[in-house]
Structure 1
Amino acid sequence: MDVDAVVFGTGLSESVTAAALSKAGFSIAHIDANTYYGGDDTSLTLDELVQWADQRASAPRDNQSTYISAQRKKYTSISRSSELVPQSRQYSLSLAPTIIPSIGPLIDSLVASGVSRYGGFKLMERLGMFDRPGVVRSVPSSKEDVFKSKELSLVDKRRLMRFLVFAAGEFESATELKGKENVPFFNFLRDVFSLDERTARSVAYGLAFCVSAQDPTLSALQRLRRYSKSVGRYGPSAFLVGHYGGIGEVAQGFCRTSAVSGGTYVLGRRLLSVSSLKSEDNSPSGRKYVIELEDFPDQLACDLIISSPDYISTELFAHASAVMTSTPSLLGTPSEPYPVARCIAIIDRPIRFCAEASATRAAANADAPSGEQVLPEKIATGEVDTAFLVFSPSSVPSGSTTAAVHMLVTGEGSMSAPSGKWIVYISRPLLGDDEYSSSAEELMRPYLDATLSLTTSASDVAGASPAQPLFTLFYIQQLPPSPASTDATSTTLVTPPATSLISELADAATEQAEKIFWRAAELLNASRKSEDAKKVEVESFWPPLDVIEDEPNLEEW
């Protein structure tokens, strides 16, 4: 089989790239050793997740594939519950839990490519900061939130509003920022805008999604501005959560678009070899690479390879080129990804985002008509179906003192769990060498316990125990090796992770895919030297969509 390019891995970055190249007119073969789409971004049923974990935790075997060998190095310290839960096939569990800003490269690509019609999203309901067991603090992100807050003094409200107005504007040339672009954002908030420590922590970790107190100011401001502009596009939250587990389903939508445009898909086949042919080898096809797959009758011949790091052999790796996003990113994405300790848990009691009872009652009464008091039983329970929680550094005993930890919960409303069940994802950045001496479970258990403390409420019987998880999986996701070369003429392009930040993962992968697309289009057109090989004219990342009569507005998904 003769194609222009072969893409290995169906993660989001590779899938967006394959769809864009196919729609532009290039011939693509898209290969994945797994029997499912999504690669490291996939969504799995509970049975599939257990199989995935057991395969990577098992002892290495002789003659194992390059892909499985790389996966075992990437996913370490794996431990899981021995019991499975009923209705296991009704869960969609993500290996890459992600919240998607309503304005950004992924949403733009979903609309421009037409992939939006293949999936659905749920608006994230709540965003909070963990305060102490059983108590979540709200994060004021708008004028209305600041006005209603009972935790802020009048002076603090004025200071916070002044900052929010500044952060929403064109701050790059502002005198407040001049010379302070790289100072720690937390210090910037306190020194320049005189925010108290509690408010500064809410802004840095709850609004700008800083990973640590050392995150630079400019990138944090860029993220915060984009998130604030995302509020209102589809509702009162800045973020969306994908149905059926998240970006794994989104990646599959891009694969579908590629297939509709002529892309060839081969799943569940082991890569046996990749041969690089020199011009003097006189390949019958004239192509640069020949690829062999297990139990696949045809060899694949191509001029360009685009691959996740896990498929690249040692020999090919030496000549590969890494395609990175621009640094610093226009998105405000942290320039360096980091290893992450992860926990996935299934629970059968809802998480409640509740403040202290007195504060909750005061807030409810403040919203009531003049002279009326809201009865305690009418105060909202705080139960959430799809929500995001931030643990700032040192907020949990035995937790990290340097890194912010993120928790995402999804339930029936996001099509990821059966009724009465919820999936909890906890992600802890590993920023220090001392954290590698502990197992994933030891690193994550304090945060899981803190999360489970939110399953009790003031109306529960005194001394009621928090929920116990029905299933847990703990593991550490290491960084894959990345080629040192960024040679623009290399015809083996590798897609290392662009970021590990949960709020930026999807957009950074899409931004990376666009950069790969333009590099690939240039290389493929340069390889068409014969008179019969017509170059493909590429004017944009996504060509205009064909208009279909009576089709609903693509933005109304």
Structure 2
Amino acid sequence: MTSYTDRRPSIVERRPSSVSAFSSRRPSVIPELQGIEKPNMESLPDDLECDVLICGTGLIESILAAALSWQGSKVLHIDSNQYYGDNSATLTIEQIKSWFINSKMQQTGFKNYKNIKLDINDHDFKIVSRDYGIDLSPKILFTKSNLLSLLIKSRVYHYLEFQSLSDFHTFEDNSFGKLVSSKEDIFTDESLNLLAKRKLMKFLKFIVGDDYLAAIKEEDKVLTLKEYLSKTFKLEDKFSNELIYTLGLVNNPNIDTISGLERIRRYLLSLNVYGNFPTVYSKFGGPGEISQGFCRSAAVAGTIYKLNTKLVDYDAESKVANLNDGSKIKINERVVSSLNQSKEKLESLGKKLHEISRMVIIVDKPCCEWFNEGESASVVVFPPKSLNSNNEYPVECLIMGAGTGCCPDGKCIWYLHTIAPTTNSVAEHDLNCALKKMEESILRESNFDFEDFDEGDLTMVNENKLGLTPSGTLKLSQSLQNFKAKEKLRYVMKLEFTQLTIVDQAESFRGYGYSDEIATTKDGIIISNMPSSELSYDGIIEEAKKLYREIVGDDVDFFDVDFEDDEDEKEMNDFNNMKTAMDMDMEMDDNEQAILDESEEGQSGDLEFEL
């Protein structure tokens, strides 16, 4: 059992820090939560009655609890764990050990995991458990998204600290390429010929247009996104992979044209909303921190919280729920449970279980070579067929350095996942192949020395950054092929597990890992659709609204609350004023256009675009 003293400092115990473009001011009073800043209740009040009982403090359930509470419902929110977050929790090393044991035993609160392996290297490292915050379902937040809008509207952002993430890499040709996603990137990339630049510019101009959907022919809507990009824009696989899997973060290679284009557009429209980056993440932990933020909001609105408490049984006729602390709760409306907290066996839900395979590695290297200046995180994507395993599905990796508040200096956390099948160890093989490539890459790059290159091999990207000319890129490629590491990358921890979910991740709601259907047990308990394989938070608000509608009848008053007051009005205006006007003008200047037009005369004239 994890002790109270092992937990990481809570939100109210941490001082705010300067965060990229976001206000770090916290309200003078942050609501305390049961089991964190104040002792957990020994027992609930006698004859307690509530409208909705929610089991599990995961992100979906926490948003739902806050929405219902602010709407006026009486909510009792419990969790069988001794921490908040459920299947989206952020855990210390000691809590990971406890999670590992309970998950192996399939205890309530730990039901939707299998194939679990844990190796902690406490022989070579002196590990301070609380120095680490390990996400069970890591995610990043697009700056133009429903969840970020809700965090601002609900004032939950007051309880969080955000940092920017702008570094996205695609693994191709045995190397990690920097993402080409803007006009500036395209025209400064010396590895692209002029025809390739024109193709990319045409596509980017098309996808950010307000009427892009109207330009898609009906017969093209049934194509996969990759087929559409090849047919309409004549894009090579290299560029299609980057657009689909790195910009779009698509985990299904068969995604349809409309859904896929929506995801690419999401990335581009999120650039320059708050700065020169498309995504942010919450410091000190991902969904676990945001879950806790919504729980605090719900507590302000009257939700009662109790940890280390689980639902024993529920009588749908009498609407009485029995809890393991002996409490009998009268439920006026509905009971909602996460898959983890369900008292039912997963198979009894009558739905096929689907899999998300994950690997979490804590490495003994800072990995700053993979971060943009001033940042502490990056994303690496391995498209289909890019690994030695001939992977059918992409492998996505989120890299979190010490600046994220999730690990100490000199260490870094790698989160890898895939929706490849676990049958015949396919997913495990894909993940290990990706891990090997990352190991090789960081050892090469951390030993890279610009002094080995001549002046003609180097070019100034900006006043603070050197880049490589085509000759330098060729020399680098040759040197990397012959590189032999003089050291071995050491792990502090390696965790492998498969998450189970009731939603087909390859065929889900617009590819976000959710479903429009409501899952219920035989006694009417609503089961929420978490976890998902989606690396972003997109789809989560839709899922929370779906549950809200099932309970309330509609979602017209979902967080329809005026959270403003005179004291906070100026701060909210300041926050909104930080939004810079998005500059997505994809028109090329006269000189650029003349160069490209001239280049077309000497190349194939067989280039047509339907716009």
Q: TM-score, normalised by structure 2?
A: 0.72
Secondary structure of the residue aligned to 2:246 is helix
Structure-2 change in CA distance of 1:337 and 1:424 (3 Å): farther
Is 2:105 the counterpart of 1:89?
no
CA root-mean-square deviation: 3.1
Secondary structure of the residue aligned to 1:130 is strand
Select 1:463's aligned residue among 478, 485, 490.
485
Structure-2 change in CA distance of 1:484 and 1:519 (3 Å): closer
CA shift digits 1:430-488 (9 cap, x unpaired): 2x4xx41228654422221211222222537963335222210011112248998679x
Task: Give the aligned partner of residue 340 of structure 2.
Answer: 310
Is 2:260 the counterpart of 1:220?
yes
Is 2:348 the counterpart of 1:348?
no
Identity of aligned residues (%): 27
Q: How many angstroms does 1:297 deviate by?
A: 4.2
Any conservation in 1 of the 2:120–2:494 contact (CA below 8 Å)? no
Is 2:197 the counterpart of 1:157?
yes
Task: Give the aligned partner of residue 501 of structure 2.
Answer: 479
Structure-2 change in CA distance of 1:55 and 1:539 (3 Å): closer
Select 2:563's aligned residue among 534, 545, 550.
545
Letter paired with 1:510: I
CA–CA distance in 2 between the matches of 1:468 and 1:198? Answer: 32
Task: Give the aligned partner of residue 99 of structure 1.
Answer: 140
Between stretches 24-33 and 471-480, larger displacement belongs to 471-480
Q: Any residues of structure 2 matched to 1:365-376 within 5 Å, and which?
A: none
Q: How many angstroms does 1:414 deviate by?
A: 1.4
Q: How many angstroms does 1:150 deviate by?
A: 1.7
Q: How many angstroms does 1:229 deviate by?
A: 0.9
CA shift digits 1:270-323 (9 cap, x unpaired): 32211122xxxxxxxxxx5211112254534332112223344449998x999x
Q: Any residues of structure 2 matched to 1:78-157 within 5 Å, and which?
A: 78-84=116-122, 85=125, 86-131=127-172, 135-157=175-197
Is 2:115 the counterpart of 1:77?
yes
Structure-2 change in CA distance of 1:321 and 1:252 (3 Å): farther
Q: Any residues of structure 2 matched to 1:272-311 within 5 Å, and which?
A: 272-277=312-317, 289-311=319-341
CA–CA distance in 2 between the matches of 1:257 and 1:317? Answer: 34
Structure-2 change in CA distance of 1:383 and 1:26 (3 Å): closer
Secondary structure of the residue aligned to 1:145 is helix
Task: Give the aligned partner of residue 197 of structure 1.
Answer: 237
Q: How many angstroms does 1:83 deviate by?
A: 2.6
CA shift digits 1:57-104 (9 cap, x unpaired): 24x6xxxx6x25xx34x2111111143351221111000011111111
Any conservation in 1 of the 2:78–2:310 contact (CA below 8 Å)? no
Is 2:399 the counterpart of 1:409?
yes
Is 2:25 the counterpart of 1:35?
no
Select 2:527's aligned residue among 494, 510, 522.
494
Is 2:460 the counterpart of 1:437?
no
Unaligned runs of 5+ in 1: 278-287, 323-335, 355-379, 524-536
CA–CA distance in 1 between the matches of 2:485 and 2:159? Answer: 47
CA–CA distance in 2 between the matches of 1:316 and 1:347? Answer: 34
Secondary structure of the residue aligned to 1:253 is helix
CA–CA distance in 1 between the matches of 2:54 and 2:314? Answer: 12
Secondary structure of the residue aligned to 1:54 is helix
Any conservation in 2 of the 1:243–1:416 contact (CA below 8 Å)? yes
Secondary structure of the residue aligned to 2:315 is strand
Any conservation in 1 of the 2:50–2:332 contact (CA below 8 Å)? yes
Task: Give the aligned partner of residue 395 of structure 1.
Answer: 386
Is 2:415 the counterpart of 1:425?
yes
Letter paired with 1:100: L
Task: Give the aligned partner of residue 68 of structure 2.
Answer: 21
Any conservation in 2 of the 1:349–1:421 contact (CA below 8 Å)? yes
Task: Give the aligned partner of residue 179 of structure 1.
Answer: 219
Q: How many angstroms does 1:541 deviate by?
A: 3.1
CA shift digits 1:303-345 (9 cap, x unpaired): 2112223344449998x999xxxxxxxxxxxxx9952111101
CA–CA distance in 2 between the matches of 1:227 and 1:440? Answer: 27
Secondary structure of the residue aligned to 1:470 is strand
Q: How many angstroms does 1:385 deviate by?
A: 2.3
| Structure having greater relative contact order (Cα 8 Å, sep ≥ 6) | 1
Q: How many angstroms does 1:517 deviate by?
A: 1.9
Q: How many angstroms does 1:243 deviate by?
A: 1.1
Q: Any residues of structure 2 matched to 1:500-515 within 5 Å, and which?
A: 500-503=533-536, 506-515=537-546
CA–CA distance in 1 between the matches of 2:500 and 2:372? Answer: 39
Any conservation in 2 of the 1:337–1:498 contact (CA below 8 Å)? no
Letter paired with 2:259: S
CA shift digits 1:131-182 (9 cap, x unpaired): 355x310111111111111221101100111001111113454344432123
Structure-2 change in CA distance of 1:352 and 1:429 (3 Å): farther
Q: Any residues of structure 2 matched to 1:244-255 within 5 Å, and which?
A: 244-255=284-295
Structure-2 change in CA distance of 1:79 and 1:317 (3 Å): closer
Structure-2 change in CA distance of 1:485 and 1:512 (3 Å): closer
Any conservation in 2 of the 1:337–1:497 contact (CA below 8 Å)? no
Structure-2 change in CA distance of 1:150 and 1:465 (3 Å): farther
CA–CA distance in 2 between the matches of 1:274 and 1:117? Answer: 37
Task: Give the aligned partner of residue 512 of structure 2.
Answer: none
Secondary structure of the residue aligned to 1:341 is strand
Any conservation in 2 of the 1:454–1:466 contact (CA below 8 Å)? no
Q: How many angstroms does 1:217 deviate by?
A: 1.0
Secondary structure of the residue aligned to 2:198 is helix
Task: Give the aligned partner of residue 240 of structure 1.
Answer: 280
Secondary structure of the residue aligned to 2:553 is helix
Any conservation in 1 of the 2:366–2:409 contact (CA below 8 Å)? no
Q: How many angstroms does 1:5 deviate by?
A: 0.8
Any conservation in 2 of the 1:391–1:404 contact (CA below 8 Å)? yes
CA–CA distance in 2 between the matches of 1:309 and 1:453? Answer: 38
Letter paired with 2:448: S
Between stretches 167-176 and 458-467, larger displacement belongs to 458-467
Task: Give the aligned partner of residue 45 of structure 1.
Answer: 92
Structure-2 change in CA distance of 1:483 and 1:539 (3 Å): closer
Task: Give the aligned partner of residue 311 of structure 2.
Answer: 271
CA–CA distance in 2 between the matches of 1:123 and 1:321? Answer: 41
Give the paired residue count.
Answer: 477
Select 1:9's aligned residue among 47, 56, 61.
56
Unaligned runs of 5+ in 2: 1-47, 450-482, 504-514, 580-611
CA–CA distance in 2 between the matches of 1:83 and 1:116? Answer: 36
Structure-2 change in CA distance of 1:262 and 1:144 (3 Å): same
Q: TM-score, normalised by structure 1?
A: 0.78
CA–CA distance in 2 between the matches of 1:492 and 1:273? Answer: 10
Between stretches 404-413 and 466-475, larger displacement belongs to 466-475
Any conservation in 2 of the 1:338–1:500 contact (CA below 8 Å)? no
